[in-house]
Amino acid sequence: MGTLYLVATPIGNLEDMTLRALRILKEVRLIAAEDTRTSRVLLQHFRIETPLTSYHEHNKLHKVEVIFDALALGDVALISDAGTPAISDPGYELVKLALARGVRVVPIPGASAVVTALVASGLPTDGFVYLGFLPRKDSDRRKFLESLRREPRTLIAYESPHRLSDALRDVQAVLGQRPVCVAREMTKHYEEFFRGTVSEALARFQDENPKGEITLLIGGALAQEARWDEARVRDALRQRLQDGESLSSAAKQVASEALWRKGEVYNLGLSLADGGCE
Residue count of the chain? 278
CB 92 within 8 A of CB 132: no
217-258, pLDDT tens digit by residue? Answer: 999 998 666 677 888 898 889 888 988 899 999 998 888 778
* H helix runs in 184-261, sequence order: 198-205, 223-226, 230-242, 247-258
106-132, pLDDT tens digit by residue? Answer: 999 999 999 999 999 999 999 999 999
Buried b (16+ CB within 10 A) or exposed e, 236-252: bbbebbeeebebeebbe
Distance CA 22, CA 166 (A): 40
Q: Which fold has domain 114-224?
A: 3.30.950
Angle at 214 between CA 212 and CA 220, to 5 degrees: 165
State the CB neighbour count (10 A cutoff) for residue 222: 10
Of 99, 113, 102, 50, which Cα lies nearest the Cα of 77?
50
CB 161 within 8 A of CB 209: yes
pLDDT at 102: 97
Looking at residue 30, its amino acid is: L
Global confidence as pTM: 0.79
pLDDT at 278: 42
What are φ and ψ of residue 228, in 5° steps? -70, 150
pLDDT at 275: 56
Sign of the torsion angle spanned by Cα atoms 267, 225, 115, 191: positive
Residue 106, helix vs strand vs coil: strand
pLDDT at 247: 92
Give me the CATH code for the 3-111 domain, please.
3.40.1010.10
Q: Are 3-111 and 114-224 equal in CATH topology? A: no
Domain ranges of the chain: 3-111, 114-224, 227-275
CB 154 within 8 A of CB 219: yes
pLDDT surpasses 90 at 192: yes
